[in-house]
Structure 1
Amino acid sequence: MNELREQAQQLEESLIALRRELHRFPELSFQEFRTASRVTEELQKLGLEVQSGIGGHGVVAELRGRYPGPAIAFRADMDALPITEETGLDYASERAGVMHACGHDIHTTVLLGAAMLLAKRREELHGTVRFLFQSAEEILAGAKAMIQEGAMEGIAEVYGVHNLPSLPAGKIGVKPGVVMGSIDRIEIRVEGRGGHGGYPEACIDPIVAASAVIMGLQSAISREIPPTTGAVVTIGTIQAGTANNIIPDFVEMTGTVRHLDAEWRKTMPERITRIVGDICRAYRCEGTVTYIEQVAPVINDESCAEYLAEVADSLVGRHNRTLPLPMTYGEDFAEFLAFAKGGFYWLGSGPQEQAELAPGLHSPRFNPDESCITLGAAMFAGIALKRLAGDGSGLR
């Protein structure tokens, strides 16, 4: 794998330039026109079979090895976030209010780098590599859209990556089992009876009831669910009222529910509906809950995680591979794992010192170490060379 790492290093200057171009022109979910066009252009230069417009602006490309064999897929996401960049970089976003604050420009460049590496070594491949460049990960819609248009047909294994600024560049995080939690959305409406703020006794105050609901959800989760399941309920928006001296008729809230345990996750709709209803009734209000399941946990196949670990060790050494704890981030990469076994790894993108203090994902000051790009490209290429080897050790 040393040769592969060296080949990746030779691409570093051009890959960083490409990443910075993508960073300057970020695009929101299902609006990745320019990004997809640029990706398609680079893939066509390599002589790959390319399809665009898959599941929105998704791009699917195939690299067929010299010999027949199974197909594996690699996935990168392309969309940005509605965040105003505050990095001060000379290649900062040129689009007001939009930023690659989650590093999807890194992921896209990593996968393009892997395609460049493998295009030069197709003679070694016994099978096919499918590259999936996905729209709309941030709204958890792009993976499902690509799958519905056949992006996973015939795939035996699928692999994905996410950069991690709390892990120093040069390190890889791999673990079997649960990598990231499920994500669900809750919409809560608390209805009371409005009136003058000076006469609350003549009203039924939904704001007081909503406050109790927020606190009650936190207490109930900590008392009813084992802490090892990683359950998290966060209320992110509250909308109520029109003036400081008016008690409104209703309060509307939205939130997120995260879980590391698929079985306990199944209990959440009933549990949250019960808690909201009981608390609202205690305050003479009516509470309703809309519970929307969005994406399942990301769960690495044991064997695929082992393959990732072996490639990581060969590229950076065992001392630079970590076994991260499960995280309550969420990823619609889980949709791909519903169709094929696979693995997801963390690519360190933080500084060498005090990476845990670096601006994190979704921060307006997020600024990953670009040296991670070539390592990520080598990781994907290494997996392809390992799993599509012709020596009997790969997929059959």
Structure 2
Amino acid sequence: MRLSSFVHAGKQIEAELIAFRRELHRYPELSLQESETAAKVAQRLGELGIDFRSRVGGNGIVAELTGEQPGPVIALRADMDALPIHEESGLEFASTRPGIMHACGHDAHTAILLGAAELLADKKIKGTVRFLFQAAEEINAGAKAMVEQGALEGVDEIYGLHNLPTLSAGLAATRYGSLMGSVDRIEIHLEGRGGHGAIPDQSVDPVVCAANIIMALQSIVSREVSPFDPVVVTIGSIKSGEANNVIPHYADMTGTIRTFDAKIQKQMPERIERIVKQIAAGHKCQAELKYIGQTPVLINDEECNRHVEQVIDQMIGSERRVEAPPTLAGEDFSVYLQHVPGCFFWLGSGPAVDASSAYGLHHPKYRLNEDCIPLGAALLAAVAQQRLAVNEHTV
């Protein structure tokens, strides 16, 4: 089959995919609350005659398209949840739910995967394509739950994409090896002794302790890790006290740890705990640290990445494919890649001209260039169909 036919077929269903995406955009749902979104996906799968099961890993859906002859099982994945962000895009189909927005484009991902299912539904395939509509990606919980409930059973390879508004629509970006960083969460509770702000010698100040911990944590990046190993330690929230003239008895902090190497990720808990506990002791505070591992480094399989690049080159031309720079942003697609080989790539969703100036992911003014939707559907469909064709004699 000529891959250009997928592009043509994708354009034919563009209007319906965009309409579906806009419906999801108007009514976004947060992680673990995606019941309405899942119901709309289920309805569309039913209309396509594709078998599925619901409530997998929360509100996730696992659908399956099986060919007349046995063969490999290729999985395609999209995420469905929105973010706790108040939309400021000005779109006529903007979110109707205050404080909730599809600011990461998961509404488009869902429409794209439905489009891929529709494009493959009338094709003769040898093997099986499994479609994973995943909940709770934004809180790094959905992929783990899907795997625990059997979403990857029998799967040989998995593929997925993410839109990128700082890359022009019509382009795609791939990368061999590590593409995205690991994600871990830290929660620090410091207990001091409160008192009057004018009499600090009769108190144990957890705020001063917190300030020193924040600064010292950065020494991990600058002095304990090689400058050739990217690491980020960010404290994102601090809560302590209520009045300007009172030394509080506690301070709470939360943060995120990002690495680009599995070995470095494993070393971080000890480093964080050592600094937190010893600095707290030096300030006469009691410290409690919770180090919560969330997602591993996202590492693409070499052969699967090569396959995606070949499909992109044949469909839209190698000049439309660029090398993706590494990022310490995280994606729980990495959890799937710990179990089966696969590839995750970027799909341009920005303006045709000067996409670098576009509002990025998670921004309240984020906008998605909907030209990317039919192309994304065509690419995912072609990736699965071609991979089945390559592997049909090896099963």
Give the TM interval when normalised to the shorter protein.
over 0.9
**Contact persistence 2:192–2:285 (CA under 8 A):** yes
Pairwise CA distance, 1:276: 1.5
More deviation in 298-307 or 278-287?
278-287
1:29 alignment partner in structure 2? 31
Distance 1:395 1:251 in 2: 59
Gap regions ≥5 residues in structure 1: none
Displacement after TM superposition at 1:331 (Å) = 1.1
Deviations 1:324-344 (A, max 9, x none): 122111111112112211110
Q: Give the aligned partner of residue 307 of structure 2.
A: 307
> Given residue 202 of structure 1, which amino acid in structure 2 is its aligned partner?
Q
Matched, 1:44 2:46: yes
Equivalence for 1:294: 294
For 1:302 and 1:340, locate their aligned partners in 2 and report how far apart those are by CA, in whole Å.
13
Aligned twin of 2:152: 152
Q: Deviations over 1:229-259 (max 9, x none)?
A: 2110111111101211100111110000001
The equivalent of 2:360 in structure 1 is: 360
Partner amino acid, structure 2, of 1:257: I
Q: What is the 5 A alignment of 1:195-206?
A: 195-206=195-206
Query: What is the aligned partner in structure 2 of residue 67 from structure 1?
Result: 69
- Give the drift of 1:393: 7.3
Aligned to 1:211: 211
Q: Report what 1:101 is aligned to.
A: 103
Counterpart pick for 2:11 among 6, 9, 12: 9
User: Contact between 1:24 and 1:94, CA under 8 Å: does it hold in 2?
Assistant: yes
Partner of 1:161: 161
Distance 1:394 1:84, change over 3 A: farther
Structure 1: distance between partners of 2:41 and 2:109: 12
**Aligned equivalents of 2:48, 2:145: Cα separation in 1:** 26
- Pick from 87, 90, 104 the counterpart of residue 88 of structure 1: 90
Match of 2:60 in 1: 58
Could you tell me how far apart the structure 2 residues matched to 1:12 and 1:394 are?
34
Aligned to 2:249: 249
Q: Distance in 1 between matches of 2:391 and 2:256?
A: 45
Shift of the 35–392 alpha-carbon distance from structure 1 to 2, 3 Å rule, reads closer
Structure 2's unaligned 5+ residue stretches are: none
Residues 387 and 395, structure 1, Cα contact 8 Å, conserved in 2: no
TM-score using structure 2 length: 0.97
Post-superposition CA distance 1:31-83 (Å, at most 9, x none): 11111111111111111111111111111111111321111100000000111
Equivalent pair of 2:186/2:255 in contact (CA under 8 Å):
yes
Distance across 1 between alignment mates of 2:346 and 2:220: 32
CA contact 2:295–2:331 (8 Å) conserved in 1: yes
User: Per the alignment, in what secondary structure is the counterpart of residue 9 of structure 2?
Assistant: helix
Sequence identity (%): 53
The whole-number CA distance in structure 2 between the counterparts of 1:320 and 1:226 is 35
- The residue that corresponds to 2:113 in the other structure is 111
Aligned residues of 2:71 and 2:127 also touching (Cα < 8 A): yes
Please tell me whether the aligned partners of residues 72 and 392 of structure 2 are also in contact (alpha carbons under 8 angstroms). no
Give matches, 1:309-388, under 5 Å: 309-388=309-388
Are the equivalent residues in 2 in contact too, given 1:388–1:394 (CA < 8 A)? no
Number of aligned residue pairs: 393
User: 1:278 Cα shift?
Assistant: 2.5
The one-letter amino acid paired with 1:341 is P
CA–CA distance in structure 1, aligned partners of residues 132 and 394 of structure 2: 20
Which residue of structure 1 aligns with residue 224 of structure 2? 224
**Aligned-CA RMSD value:** 1.3
Q: What letter is aligned with 1:169?
A: A
Q: 8 Å contact 1:296–1:335 — kept in the other structure?
A: yes
Please give the alpha-carbon distance, in whole angstroms, between the structure 1 residues aligned to 2:340 and 2:38.
25
Distance 2:177 2:391 in 1: 26
